[in-house]
């Protein structure tokens, strides 16, 4: 299926979540009344996530699976998915976590907001947004990371580290996705920063982020530290 909205779901060891999640996002995307495709990008998960995704793809015509040889990181998985979606003619490309941290029911709101914006961010830190079930240290790291990036990069966007986004294809075509090498938080920051620098309209839609119920988070100290040093490097490369 070409065109329409493509949702990219990178996975690594999400066997406990992937089937329920794909069925949930499919139901939400069906409710929009527009063509869509769900692309699972699996990094050879040892827990069998890719096998479950293949079964879903055989059953559901809107679902497709991209298998990669091994774990190369979230950023590389997204770039591979973006490439495939653009090559298939996607008009909108969405990204989100596949563990129910992002609510599938919010997908129609992000898609609707793209009618008047080039990049829509599901934002925890605008009025109406929030985070549930996080301990205080993690809240401080997330809010502090977004504030740090906002100040260094001179952006008004409040949630720079979030991974729930909806891009018009022109944004991904313009910002040079193949040259983004950061992972995790740094990858998300750079996507938004490049979009703003390129003159695209960015809006934030409030969402509530929930801690995953099953499986373990893939974020770690290395990914957080990478974002710290890559943010000023971004500013230096781009100039004032």
Rounded Cα distance between 191 and 187, Å, is: 6
pLDDT at position 217 over 60: no
Please name the residues in contact with 35: beta carbons below 8 A apart, sequence gap of 6 or more: 1, 3, 4, 5
Alpha-carbon distance 104 to 99, whole Å? 10
Name the band, by pLDDT with cuts 50, 70 and 90, for residue 72: confident
Collect all residues with Cβ–Cβ distance below 8 Å to 64 and sequence separation of at least 6.
Answer: 37, 38, 39, 40, 57
pLDDT confidence band for 238 (50 / 70 / 90): low
Determine the average pLDDT of the residues in 208-224: 64
Lowest mean pLDDT, pick from 27-36, 130-139, 158-167, 198-207: 130-139
Query: All domains of the chain, ordered by start, with CATH?
Result: 5-238 (3.90.550.10)
- The pLDDT-based confidence of 2 (bands split at 50, 70, 90) is low
Rounded Cα distance, 219 and 130, in Å: 19
pLDDT grade, residue 223 (50/70/90)? Answer: low
* Position 136 confidence tier, pLDDT thresholds 50, 70, 90: confident
* Mean confidence (pLDDT) of the chain: 90
pTM for this one?
0.91
CA dist 121 → 49, 134, 165, 184, 229 (Å):
27, 20, 5, 16, 23
Q: Label residue 1 by pLDDT band (50, 70, 90).
A: very low
Residue 214, pLDDT above cutoff 80 = no
Span 221-225, mean pLDDT?
Answer: 56
Rg (CA), the chain: 17
């Amino acid at each position: 299926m070409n065109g329409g909205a493509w949702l990219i779901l990178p996975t690594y060891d999400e066997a406990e979540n992937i089937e329920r999640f794909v069925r949930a996002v499919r139901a939400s995307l069906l409710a929009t009344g527009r063509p869509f495709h769900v692309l699972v990008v699996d990094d050879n998960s040892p827990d069998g996530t890719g096998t479950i995704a293949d079964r879903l793809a055989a059953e559901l015509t809107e679902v497709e699976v991209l298998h990669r040889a091994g774990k190369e990181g979230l950023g590389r998985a997204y770039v591979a998915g973006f490439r495939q979606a653009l090559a298939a003619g996607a008009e909108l490309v969405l990204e989100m976590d596949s563990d129910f941290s992002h609510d599938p029911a919010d997908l129609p709101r992000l898609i609707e907001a793209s009618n008047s914006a080039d990049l829509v961010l599901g934002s925890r830190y605008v009025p109406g947004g929030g985070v549930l079930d996080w301990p205080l240290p993690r809240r401080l790291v997330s809010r502090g990371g977004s504030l740090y990036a906002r100040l260094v990069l001179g952006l008004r966007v409040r949630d720079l580290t979030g991974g729930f986004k909806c891009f018009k294809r022109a944004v991904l075509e313009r910002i040079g996705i193949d040259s983004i090498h950061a992972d995790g938080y740094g990858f998300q920051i750079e996507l938004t920063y490049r979009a703003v620098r390129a003159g695209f309209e960015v809006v934030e839609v409030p969402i509530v982020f929930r801690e995953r119920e099953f499986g373990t988070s893939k974020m770690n100290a290395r990914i957080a530290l990478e974002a710290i040093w890559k943010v000023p490097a971004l500013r230096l490369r781009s100039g004032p």
